[in-house]
């Protein structure tokens, strides 16, 4: 089995100690950092599907996310564009009333690897805080709002409309999360939508270039 496949398997199994080691080995084997990251994102989508299907429990999903984060730590120095990121700054967070961060963290990792400088506001971010963050940071080119619950869809709408109505310019707004669709994104006035972390990074690049 190629090391990159082992990385995938161990992310799925939530093996925090093995993943960073295997990522190193995959790099040594000649896999590109970007491909390893994508492999881990693919694993996480498998994990996400299993969770949705009720096959695994929250802690198991958390362990997978943590295992992936350990792997990303290994990849970061190889992918980070350091201080001057080429695509500008991305403000990311989960909207008010929603405490989910696994998907948001995955998107954050993918965005970072794509060349954004990341400002992560965490979870349960009220609309006003988004505005503050956009004002407080230089060269914000993208705002990414995550909402994972049907009950927080109104908060997603509020966040996007507050950001859009603030008069601040120079950035695009992208939304995502389990209940979110392209149609919903259009309805609330977001500039973009992506169904998963991998395509979010692709969409983000498209939006800001």
Partner 1 sequence: MIIIGEKINGAIPSVARAIAERNSDFIRNLAKIQADAGANFIDVCASTDVNIEVETLRWLIDLVQEVTDTPICIDSPHVQAIVEAIPFCKRPGLINSVSGEGDKIDVIFPLIADTKWEVAALLCDDSGISKTAEKRLEVFSHIMKRAGEFNIAPSRLHIDPLVEMLCTSEDGINMIVGVMKEIKRQYPSVHITGGCSNVSFNLPVRKLVNQAFLVLAMNAGMDSGIIDPTNQDLAGMIFATEALLGQDEYCMEYISAFRDGRFGQKK
Binding site for partner 1 (CB under 8 A): 14, 57, 59-60, 62-63
The distance of closest approach from Cβ of residue 103 to partner 1 in the complex, given in angstroms and rounded to an integer, is 18
Q: How far apart are CA 111 and CA 144, in angstroms?
A: 10
The distance of closest approach from Cβ of residue 165 to partner 1 in the complex, given in angstroms and rounded to an integer, is 40
Smaller CB distance to partner 1: residue 47 or 111?
47
Cβ(192)–Cβ(107) below 8 Å: no
The distance of closest approach from Cβ of residue 63 to partner 1 in the complex, given in angstroms and rounded to an integer, is 6
Smaller CB distance to partner 1: residue 63 or 125?
63
Smaller CB distance to partner 1: residue 65 or 194?
65
Smaller CB distance to partner 1: residue 15 or 172?
15
**What is the Cα gyration radius of the chain?**
17
The distance of closest approach from Cβ of residue 110 to partner 1 in the complex, given in angstroms and rounded to an integer, is 24
Q: What are phi and psi of 6, to 5 degrees?
A: -65, -40
The distance of closest approach from Cβ of residue 65 to partner 1 in the complex, given in angstroms and rounded to an integer, is 11
What angle is formed at CA 34 by the lines to CA 88 and CA 13, rounded to 5 degrees? 120
Q: How far apart are CA 152 and CA 124, in angstroms?
A: 10
Q: What are phi and psi of 180, to 5 degrees?
A: -85, 140
142: which 2 tokens?
A: 């993208």
Q: How far apart are CA 163 and CA 185, in angstroms?
A: 14
Smaller CB distance to partner 1: residue 15 or 203?
15
């Amino acid at each position: 089995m190629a090391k990159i496949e082992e990385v995938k398997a161990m992310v799925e199994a939530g093996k925090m100690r093995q993943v960073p080691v295997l990522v190193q080995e995959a790099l040594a084997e000649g896999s590109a950092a970007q491909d390893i990251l994508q492999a881990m994102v693919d694993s996480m989508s498998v994990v996400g599907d299993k969770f949705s299907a009720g096959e695994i429990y929250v802690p198991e999903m958390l362990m997978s996310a943590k295992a992936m984060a350990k792997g990303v730590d290994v990849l970061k120095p190889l992918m980070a564009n350091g201080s001057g990121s080429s695509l500008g700054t991305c403000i990311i967070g989960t909207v008010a009333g929603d405490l989910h961060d696994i998907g948001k963290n995955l998107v954050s990792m993918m965005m970072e690897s794509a060349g954004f400088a990341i400002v992560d506001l965490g979870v349960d971010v009220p609309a006003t805080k988004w505005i503050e963050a956009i004002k407080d940071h230089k060269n914000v080119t993208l705002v990414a709002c995550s909402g994972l619950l049907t009950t927080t869809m109104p908060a997603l709408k509020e966040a996007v409309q507050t950001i859009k109505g603030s008069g601040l310019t120079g950035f695009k707004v992208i939304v995502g999360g389990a209940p979110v669709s392209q149609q919903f994104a259009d309805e609330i006035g977001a500039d973009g939508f992506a169904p998963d972390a991998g395509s979010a990074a692709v969409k983000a690049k498209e939006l800001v270039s």
